[in-house]
Amino acid sequence: MAATLTRTALRASTSRLSNPHSTFAARQASPIFRRFLATPRGEQPRLRIGSEAPNFQAKTTNGDIDFHQWLDNKWAILFSHPADFTPVCTTELGAFAKLKDEFERRGVQMIGLSANDLSSHSSWVNDINDLSSTTLTFPIIADATRSIAWLYDMISTPDLEKLAHSGGVAFTIRSVFIIDPAKKIRLTMMYPASTGRNTAEVLRVVDALQMADGKGVATPVDWGVGEDVIVPAAVSTEEARRKFGEGNVREVRPYLRFTKV
């Protein structure tokens, strides 16, 4: 369906742009159209929990990277922005930059992406630092062609069509990915343009994932470090008592057992 819509959009735009009598508005759209052509076509990959984070090469504010090499078998969060100097995103990047020590303590590298080129990234970073009284040190990927946003399944079909016809901003380039040391995607969140992300939730999920991996447990609603955790359904209560201690498994229901780790 999406591929058909995209092909239709491409055909429509191609005929308009190759027509010498095309409207002024259509001719104005041509640079954006060329940018769209630089974006891979067809279906965007369907990234899900457990998918390998796709590799790519990119220019960033900290130099050129090969993403898999940059990951370096460490935890990472990748978050994206539709354009530089967008107000909600400005507050988000400032807040993540301020939490550098918290992410480092958990062994998590941060990397941002914005669908503009490096020249405006640098002045945006200066502004973010100024506005949030911080020093943003993690790389921001330059994705002016939106090819990485496409690779990471961030662009809605209406936005793909809008970009092809009239350019503008792809509002849905507002994802968060948590990637583990095996390069597997462990969480995806997609935020609307009007709602700022929650840094505490990203840190909380990192804590929960690291707890789950390290101790073989699950975590309940709103869990925070230090609170009781859940014995996974696959572990019997007898096994759990052997593993976590005889007096350290609280069976609320046969299927809901808590323990302390």
In eight-state DSSP terms, residue 228 is: -
Q: Tell me the helices (H) and strands (E) count for the chain, helix number first.
A: 11, 10
Q: What is the dihedral of CA 39, 56, 174, 100, to 10 degrees?
A: -150
Instruction: Give the span between the Cα atoms of 81 and 79, in whole angstroms.
Output: 7
In contact, 98 and 203? CB cutoff 8 Å: no
Nearer to ligand BEZ, 16 or 197 (CB): 197
Nearer to ligand BEZ, 5 or 169 (CB): 169
Nearer to ligand BEZ, 150 or 258 (CB): 150
Least Å from the CB of residue 175 to ligand BEZ? 12
Nearer to ligand BEZ, 94 or 139 (CB): 94
Q: Residue 80 forms beta bridges with which residues?
A: 113
Nearer to ligand BEZ, 32 or 169 (CB): 169
Instruction: Give the span between the Cα atoms of 23 and 192, in whole angstroms.
Output: 33
185 half-sphere exposure, CB direction, 13 A CA radius? 20
* Residue 82 one-letter amino acid: P
In contact, 186 and 179? CB cutoff 8 Å: yes
89 is catalytic: yes
Least Å from the CB of residue 167 to ligand BEZ? 14
Least Å from the CB of residue 87 to ligand BEZ? 4
Least Å from the CB of residue 173 to ligand BEZ? 8
CB neighbours of residue 171 within 10 Å? 17
Query: Active-site residue among 76, 77, 89, 140?
Result: 89
Binding site for ligand BEZ (CB under 6 A): 82, 86-89, 169, 171, 193
Least Å from the CB of residue 166 to ligand BEZ? 15
Q: What is the chain's Cα-based Rg?
A: 22
Catalytic residue positions, numbered: 89
